[in-house]
Amino acid sequence: MSEAKITPLARRLAEENGIDWRQIQGTGPDGTVVERDILSFLAKVMAGEVNLPPTPEEAQPLPEPLTEKAMAQAQAVLQKEGLQIGDLVPPSVQPTALDIEFDLDLETLPQDHPIFEEETPPAPDPSPVLDLAEPEPLVASEPLPQLEWEEPPPNPELAGLPPLPPDEEPAPNPPVVPPAPPPGPSPALAQPSSPAALAETGIQGVRVQAWQRMVVLGPAQEAAQTLSEAWGTEVDLYPLLFRAVERALAQLELGWQPVKGLLEGEQLKRFRVAPAQSLRGTLEALRQASEPGEGLVVLSLLDTPFDQVVFPNVPTLTLGRAQGGLALLALSGGIEPALAGELLEQVARHLERPILLA
């Protein structure tokens, strides 16, 4: 028996749908199985007329259901042959009401048989009844025994001791009087004399104007520490104060020159300082200052117990002792009030922003 023949397209169509094409009688030349034979077989399978025979090859996964695209391809191939899918698939007949059979049990139930038995609702739980009657008082069946105090027997060892004194209230503690402080020397500060007393003695009072402003020392202290580490020498706040006064006087164009002030006891010494172009130059000029000079005295009181000192007829700018990161910046001497406030403001601004002193 010669082997069945099949076209490549028909073989591919049969393998994709799991059809054993060797069992199909081909209609092509010399019994060759063509696409139309595969499609006709698929139509019969879909109609339920035939079942797919088991294939001799290894079991393949179930074919995917035909999509609309595959049906359209099959319809196009059949139309070329002059066939329709409806001609190959018999029309399905819908069952009518006469084709449906019912198995009915016509035996009737007895008349006294209840169709639905009504369930008896459960009896509600009896609600508890509150007993509001007052309870009877408890009466002791026997009288309680009375407590009797028995004196302890006397101790023969304590017989020779004298009797205890009667109870007395404790005497109140005497009030504590603090000792009077020892007499000390009177304050050395003299009380201000009245104008009449000054006129009798011939002494004239001196009036000195002073302006004050608080300044924050933190930024200047950090800058001084940084400069000490960078230059390898100790730098305190005085060079920064002197440089700030020098810059403020130049900005306000007051015509004054700052001079180095040094307080020795109650005597004020003033030294001329050579002008410098940088903060380090100011530091070197302050160390070399030794000649007397005249101008606005710049005095630091950070290492003293004073907040401010005033010298009559000497224009002085002082920086008082540090308290809680703050210090008093004061100005006294012959200067106009408007310019005095502006000068203090500029000096404080430079101290609180040390970058302006470079």
CA distance 124 to 122: 6
Please state which of the ranges 43-47, 243-247, 338-342, 349-353 shows the lowest mean pLDDT.
Answer: 43-47
Please give the sequence-ordered ranges of beta strands (E in DSSP) within 205-325, or none if there are none: 210-216, 258-264, 267-272, 296-300, 316-319
What are the pLDDT digits (tens) for 171-215? 555 555 444 443 333 333 333 334 444 344 444 545 667 899 999
Q: List C-alpha distances in Å: 172 to 133, 317, 347.
A: 61, 63, 66
Interhelix angle 8-16/35-47, rounded to 10 degrees, is 20
Please state which of the ranges 33-42, 50-59, 176-185, 258-267 shows the lowest mean pLDDT.
Answer: 176-185
pTM: 0.45
- 60, 18 contact by CB (below 8 A): yes
Per-residue pLDDT at 41 = 82
CATH of domain 210-357: 3.30.559.10
The residue behind tokens 């042959």 is: 81
Cβ neighbours, 10 Å, residue 195: 9
Name the residue ranges covered by the structural domains of the chain.
Answer: 8-88, 210-357
SS3 332: strand
Say which amino acid occupies 102.
F
Residue 19 above 70 pLDDT? yes
Which of residues 277 and 164 earns the better pLDDT score?
A: 277
Which of residues 191 and 30 earns the better pLDDT score?
A: 30
What are the pLDDT digits (tens) for 71-96? 777 777 777 766 666 666 556 566 56
Tell me the sheet residues that pair with 261. Answer: 270
SS3 129: coil
